[in-house]
Structure 1
Amino acid sequence: MTERKEGLVSLVITNYNRARYLRECLESIRLQTYPHWEIIFVDDASTDDSVQVVREWMEEHRDMWSEDRQLVMLTLPRNIGFAGAINAGFYLARGEYIAVQDSDDYSDRERFAKQVEYLQNHPLVDLVGTNYYAFPDHAPAEKKLATWIRYGEEIRRVYGRGGHCVCHGTILFRGKLFDQIGGPTRRISGAEDYEFIAKALNSKAQIENLPEPLYYYRVHDSQRSAQYYRRKESNDAN
């Protein structure tokens, strides 16, 4: 097993035909106040110009790349789905910390700094998510704070009842957690993110959410989790 690089955040972004959103997604990482990060970009056999967009962005910012700041792009020869793609990214991650971001979303510039600081100050916590703003693709200024995120011991209780209260796109966790339990499986199609959090909790991992919204979740018709997200938001309104 490769020794993990102290202080490094390895961000895994999986992508399938999200070319129109990639620049905003990547720029939100370039502008992070936390300086030690790498991007693992896994393209799941996109049929649009996603790969070209990323290559052009990399070239535009070529002066910032170094041994300690890289973008590693893995282009899969055929589509293997979310679980397979994100696991491929997790295996390539070198960092002490691993983070996730969806390719159609973006992060607050303080996200990594605040999540890493939290884990450094709470050595018994293995994974930390955050609250987030959701916004419709056609009206990005209409941001709505999520209300289904939970905190503390309530997180374990919610998952114990079969519920969900951690936004997968916001998570940052210790690399050793992946080394111990692996990534999501394909057993629950469309809910791999739920299964990963539940598996972590079942392994006695400690999980927390930060109440501050540090992530921006785009709502559109073609997103992978559209049906689940709408059901969750509907439940919040009742």
Structure 2
Amino acid sequence: MSTGEPTVSIIMNCFNGSRYLRQALDSVVAQTYRNWELIFWDNQSTDDSLLIVQSYKDPRVKIFINDHHTTLYAARNLAVGQVTGSLVAFLDTDDFWEVDKLSQQVPVFIDPEVGLVYGKYWFRDESGDSVYVGPAGDLPTGRILPTLLRSNYVGILTMIVRRSVLQKLDGPFKERYEVIGDTDLVLRVAKGWEIRAIERPVATYRWHDSNDTKIKAVRHAEEWVDWLTDTGRLRAFIDSPGFESRRTMIYKEVARCIVRKKNWEPLKKLYSESQNWSEKVFRVLNVSIYVSIYLVGRGQPKTC
């Protein structure tokens, strides 16, 4: 399509996603912004996912079938390698967009300093009810790395990122991750570029028992420990004003795994990958403090 408007390449990774797939696809086809392509990357599905997507005869829907099953972030990277647009968006098969999502966000990229645009989103439960809108309050915008280190604001289903930005990073997604790769990507983008926000819901996140964030809670904590003990990450972020807040969040998450899951693996990883004895003691002491707080009921662990 030659309209003079930037092409948005939409990445949809699929593995046995037939349950909600049609609603996700319909929300793409219905976009009021018309200059898009859908990179549908099937990761060896065994359900009806391929039959469903093949029923869409729109030439903008481009179907790729992986020759072997990979992790999610490996599949995301492979799909990114197929894009032709200057802007890249992501939509999972169980989520869906508002019809004007792209129309609202694409014009923001007229500012060359902007690397990523995101927005609010609805949370919908399995009954189909849209429960609430998040994140709460005004969304941060600008050079916001310290803010994003303190709290996770950017949902991947709402964001669009410049393809040129992804090309300048050390790989879009770190394939060793299974859960935190989205947040890790956003933090790396925020280090070098401005981020802008749309102050209203542009998508709906479906909350159900198969969400990775629900079934991989311990893995989530282990990956944040990996992030914290990665020397490259430390060099990149340790001087940011928000780094200490992120480190505290990680200690709390490790403590929650101990209290809620009776799982000590994240703490063992945190201990074993410390550089010296003083660091080992410091980290274990901090986690122990939060374990004590949770056990005496001063704070109730909500995740993990």
TM-score, structure 1 as length reference: 0.83
Are 1:223 and 2:208 matched, yes or no?
Answer: no
For residues 148 and 191 of structure 1, the distance between their equivalents in structure 2, rounded to whole angstroms, comes to 21
For residues 110 and 145 of structure 1, the distance between their equivalents in structure 2, rounded to whole angstroms, comes to 17
Distance 1:235-1:71 versus aligned 2 partners, 3 A rule: farther
The corresponding residue for 1:30 is 29
Please point out which of 102, 105, 110 is paired with 2:95: 105
Matched ranges for 1:12-31 at <5 A: 12-31=11-30
For residues 214 and 158 of structure 2, the distance between their equivalents in structure 1, rounded to whole angstroms, comes to 17
After the TM superposition, which segments of 4 or more aligned residues of structure 1 sit over 6 Å from their partners?
A: none
1:186-207, CA deviations, whole angstroms, 9 ceiling, x for partnerless residues?
23331110111112123x1222
User: Taking CA–CA contacts closer than 8 Å with sequence separation of 6 or more, which of the two structures ends up with the larger relative contact order?
Assistant: 1
Name the structure with the higher helix share: 2
The corresponding residue for 2:121 is 132
Paired positions, count: 217
Name the structure with the higher strand share: 1
Unpaired runs of 5+ residues, structure 2, are: 221-252, 254-299
For residues 183 and 49 of structure 1, the distance between their equivalents in structure 2, rounded to whole angstroms, comes to 29
The 3-state SS of whatever aligns with 1:104 is coil
Q: Percent identity?
A: 25
The corresponding residue for 1:174 is 162
The structure number with the bigger radius of gyration is: 2
The 3-state SS of whatever aligns with 2:177 is coil
Distance 1:235-1:26 versus aligned 2 partners, 3 A rule: farther
Unpaired runs of 5+ residues, structure 1, are: none
CA RMSD in angstroms comes to: 2.5
**Which deviates more from structure 2 when the two are superposed, residues 22-31 or residues 192-201?**
192-201
For residues 235 and 98 of structure 1, the distance between their equivalents in structure 2, rounded to whole angstroms, comes to 35
CA contact (8 A) 1:16 1:44 kept: yes
CA contact (8 A) 1:155 1:165 kept: no
TM-score, structure 2 as length reference: 0.66
The 3-state SS of whatever aligns with 1:54 is helix
For residues 235 and 100 of structure 1, the distance between their equivalents in structure 2, rounded to whole angstroms, comes to 30
The corresponding residue for 1:48 is 47
